[in-house]
Amino acid sequence: MRLTDRQFDLVALMALAAFLPHLLRMPLWLGIGLAVIAPLRMLARRRGARLVPVWLRVPAVGILVALIIVEYGNIFGRGAGSSLAAGLLMLKLLETERSRDARAALGFSAFVLMSALLFTQTLLFTAALCLSLVLLLAALNALEPAPVSPAHPLKAGMRTGAILFALGLPLAAAAFLFVPRLSSPLWGAPGLDQQPRTGLDERMSPGSLVELLIDDTPALRVRFDGATPPPAARYFRALVLWDFDGTTWTRDSSIWQRKTESIESRSAPLDYEITLEPTDRPWLVALDVPLSAPDETRLGSDRTLATRLRVATPRQYRARSVIDYRLAADLDGSDRKRALRLPDGFNARTRELATQWRSEGRNVDAIIRSSLEMFNASFSYTLTPPLLGRDSVDDFLFSTRAGYCEHYSSAFVFLMRAAGVPARVVTGYQGGWQNDSANYLLVRQSDAHAWAEVWLDGRGWVRVDPTAAVSPARIEDGASAVNRGDSWLDSAWLLDMRNRLDVVNRVWTQTIVQFNALRQSSLLTPFGKPRISQSDLLLLLASFIALVLLVATVWVLRAGPQAQGDALDAAWRKLQRKLARAGMVTRNTEGPLDALARVFAHVGDAPLRAQIAAIVERYVGLRYAQQQPPAEHVQAFERAVRELRVPRVVAVSGRATN
């Protein structure tokens, strides 16, 4: 059967809804080019153009495959595979003209929509996905032949889709809980495609952190076993950058082969639990500095943490750290050389300044103090600094004098090395918002930060944060205090509300996203069964399905045959009930004209007889004189039944008395 415009529009809208989550992972030109297929096809059908010729459709598929290979290198993996599937879905609309094609397109839409969950499982995205499923069910319902066309088809279809979605939720929940889970991901190894995510990078150059500093999405959540450290002590270590080529700082790849730097604790250790959002990168974050590596992680020589696989899903781990310590009391020759290395031919004025301080006889503490006093005197903190040239440190120190944390940490470490003080850059997060009601610390991507560590005789590596000399509010009050713009979207009250609502996202992540095979095996622990096998899970699933089927069967049997039919039949049954309450009982086995004759045997009032006869004749005309009565005629019949007033009658010798 050929699709009507309304049916095709619903199919096209569903295909577009399934395609949109993949749009940002494609090249912009390819994504927009595929997305416009749906509205163009809808417009073309209204102008009389139907099926797109096959000599256009077949080459389009080949071109799409070629473009995917050029962009991703192949057609396999999460990124390439999902982009190819999304593109093929849009091309499917070029040949969708009949119900069979529409059902295939809708089934493929469900697959494409679900494949987006391979990249994100946030609460907001899942809610949007559920709305798309309602649209999918509405589109499938629109393909079914209906005796009566509703007055508002889209509204009626969405209502039906919502009801079907709600009815399917119990079975979906049972499948989520009881279908045995794999111990490893179904779609290859996590992070196989190295999809870019917002997070810290192992390279830092002027301007590289700005995207993080304006990103308010959660980065990690921390629950401390005891009191939460004060804001000035909330430095979360991620990466240590040793090497500088004149423009970019990079990490040292040999940290996994060298001996871990010794640490002497000067304060009680802090135990805490971190839930790290997906980054598709292998390194983890810990409060500065971790004492040991958590399970299934490794500890680098510079006290940074990493896993062997990329963090493709929320990662929860426990760690122990100290905030008062002496790190690497002794610095060996190779580390000292690496911590003093500078590229030749860069930043001559900065070198001259460091040499001048040395020639004046200033010791290490005085040089550090002079640097911080210089920053404090004439520098400003801004997320929109002027561009820097080849000698980026010289331009920053002697010309622009405006920037954010990475500018200050980079210039400070360069200046220290030029003055003969071993130094390195550390990147991570600083600050966070304490949720007192749920007792956890929320750290957002905008809390990303870079600071410096200098090595001092007898004290080891000591943290120095030059940003604090310029903007103390950044450290004490958090990134939101200095990064917030003038828009109402950046207002303090809105950010505070988002922080408070984050507890919902946290519960979602812990209970839904992180529900893995291990947690599934402990599902019945509260009921005295510490572990359950896969056979037990399947038994629970079968029992739940049997229970649902039993409830549905009882409901259908209790509803009886009166529950069958469409809106016209429902109005007819309402008329029968109204007549029965007045003492005129009709039989379900007799036709409407026989029922009318039975009613006339009880009614002597001529106007009432005429009114009932008109209603019955209207029903006969709607039900038997046409295949699909117009919706407005059915609604008029419903209104006539609703407005009918029948007084109670008593039959006497074939005549009725009121």
Could you give the residue numbers annotated as active site? 405, 449, 465
Report the C-alpha gap between 251 and 407 in whole angstroms.
Answer: 17
- Smallest Cα–Cα separation from 326: which of 460, 422, 233? 460
Report the C-alpha gap between 540 and 174 in whole angstroms.
9
The rounded distance, in Å, linking the Cα atoms of 601 and 592 is 14
How many residues are recorded in the chain? 658
Question: 544-549: long-range contacts (C-beta < 8 A, 24 or more apart)?
Answer: 544/170, 544/171, 544/174, 544/178, 545/171, 545/174, 548/170, 548/171, 548/174
User: How many other C-beta atoms can be found within 10 angstroms of the C-beta atom of residue 39?
Assistant: 13
SS3 62: helix
β-strand 218-224 against 655-657: which pairing, if any?
A: unpaired
- For residues 153 and 126, what is the distance between their CA atoms, to the nearest angstrom? 26
Q: Say which DSSP state 235 is in.
A: E
Cα–Cα distance measured from residue 339 to residue 401, given in angstroms and rounded to the nearest whole number: 25
- Contact indicator for 217, 199 with CB cutoff of 8 Å: no
Q: What is the dihedral of CA 50, 54, 58, 60, to 10 degrees?
A: -40
Q: Kind of pairing, strands 380-381 and 402-403?
A: parallel
**Secondary structure of 279-339 in HEC code, one letter for each residue:** CCCCECCEECCECCCCCCCEECCCCCEECCCCCCCCEEEEEEECCCEEECCCCCHHHHHHH
Residue 236, helix vs strand vs coil: strand
Q: At what angle do helices 567-581 and 592-600 cross, to 10 degrees?
A: 20
